[in-house]
Structure formats: C-alpha cells, structure tokens
Amino acid sequence: LLTQIHPGLEAVIGAHLDHPAMTALLVKYPTPKALRRAGKHRVETLLAKHAPRAWKRWATAIFAALDEQTVVVAGTDAAGIVLPQLATALAQTRSSRDEVFARIEELVESHPLFELLTSMPAVGVRTAARILTEVVGKDFATAGHLASYAGLAPVTWRSGTSIRGDHSSRRGNKVLKRALFLSAFAALKDPLSRTYYDRKRAQGKKHNQALIALARRRCNVLFAMLRDGSYFHVPMEATAA
C-alpha cells in the first residue's frame, strides 16, 4: 500500500520493516500527512524508543522522502485505515515468532546433548538445534557418511574423458550444510580453526572452498563427539604449537 501512495517513503520504511521501530511508526503515523503533522521531533522520539542507534538517521531519511513528494495520491486516506491494522498484525506475528523461538531455545538448552554440542567453538543454540533435528537419531557408520549427508564431502566432476578435480557437493541436506558452513565461518575467530582455514587458503583454495574444508573438518570432529559422547577438546599437538 505504501508503495502505491508514496514510493519514496516505502523505500525508507520498507527497508527496515522487520524492525519494531517501523511497525510502531506505521501504527501511529500511517500516512505521509500524519507524519508531516506529527513533525520530525515526535517521529524522532518514537523511533528513539525502539531504535536507539538508528533513530536519527531513519528520521532524516523519512522527512527527506516526504519533501521529495508533495502530491497526495488518491487512496491515501484509505491506506491510512488499513496500514495501522497491517502493522499491528505484523507486530503481533513477530511477537508470536519470538515466543516460539524462545520456547525452541528452552527445549534445545534442556536437551542432554546441548552442552556437548556447544562445547565446540562457534556452535550456539541455533546450530545445536539444527544438529539435533538433522543429525541426532540417524545412524552414520563413519564421519564420511555424515559429511556426505551434510553435502560437505568433495565430489570429482567428470566430463567425458576429462576430470576437473574435487568440488563441493550440490547434494545432501542443504539445511544442515548451511548451518555447518555458517558455524565454520563464525569459528574463524577460534585460533585452531583460523590456522586450518589459512593453511587451505595458502594451498590456493578460495574463501568458500576453504570454509567448506573447515566445515568438513569440524563435521569429522562432530561425528567423533557424538559417537563417543565426548566434549570438544583441543588436540595436544595444537596446544603444544
């Protein structure tokens, strides 16, 4: 609706519609006329309650957009009735989603394997949840089987008689692969993981290839942890180095 009555304003508000500040703004000041009538100070005050870091920048952008369009488009008043209702519904949906996420976190944190999984660097609640839902309860004979299931095992591309080397598989569990990939990226802050990543880069691998290799290595460790029921520990040789 906002796109139809004021494209410039929609570009500013729509880009941050996931933020509670913007839904609160639309509930109270749903039209360009309402925003102008409220004035910049009131808009800044409202935004500051929900976005203490971005309120000034957003308020400036909103009023700059208002200044760019002075024409009142037909249907603006009707949009002023509908937009607050939509914004309220969006806020309620977001609140319900947050409650669901909080409940999921409680369930994950109460799982017997939670502390074991999160003993590995860069494995938090969300990654642990993915591992619990996608891995635990399934039978993998080897670390290679788990890596293949996760789409982390390298495959050799062949075309006729030519062989183009090993590449990351496009098969496997994409949800699990993404979780392990992002976890590997976060693990770059860990010295041991960073050393492995840097070594792969020095061998000529590109950024994503090195991350996939790191994710595969961490997948091997994860398999051993789940198989043995053991917490993550730094190898003695790494400690000595």
Could you report the per-residue pLDDT of 134-171, keeping only the tens digit for each? 999 999 999 999 999 999 987 655 555 544 545 566 77
Q: Which residue has the higher pLDDT, 73 or 202?
A: 202
Quick one: pLDDT at residue 189? 95
Nearest Cα to Cα of residue 229 among 123, 119, 147: 119
Q: Are residues 65 and 123 in the same domain?
A: no
Name the pLDDT band for 29 (thresholds 50, 70, 90): very high
Residue type, 31: T
Same domain? For 74 and 165 the reply is no
40 pLDDT above the threshold of 70? yes
CA distance 119 to 105: 16
- 17 with 99, same domain: the answer is yes
Mean pLDDT of the chain: 89
58, 77, 106 - which closes a domain:
106
Domain count of the fold of the chain: 2
Final residue before a domain boundary, out of 106, 130, 153: 106
Helix, strand, or coil (residue 159): strand
Could you tell me which of 169, 165, 172, 175 has the C-alpha nearest to residue 212? 169
pLDDT for 191 equals 94
What tens digit of pLDDT does each residue of 76-127 get?
A: 888 888 888 988 998 899 889 989 989 999 999 999 999 999 999 999 999 9
- Per cent of the chain over pLDDT 70 is 90
Q: Are both 40 and 125 inside the same structural domain?
A: no
Rounded Cα distance between 183 and 211, Å, is 10
Residue 237 has pLDDT above 60, yes or no: no
Domain residues for the domain of 229 are 114-240
Residues 54 and 165 in one domain: no
Looking at the structure, tell me whether residues 93 and 204 fall in a common domain. no
Q: What pLDDT score does 83 carry?
A: 87
Q: Residue 81 has what pLDDT?
A: 86
Residues 124 and 194 in one domain: yes
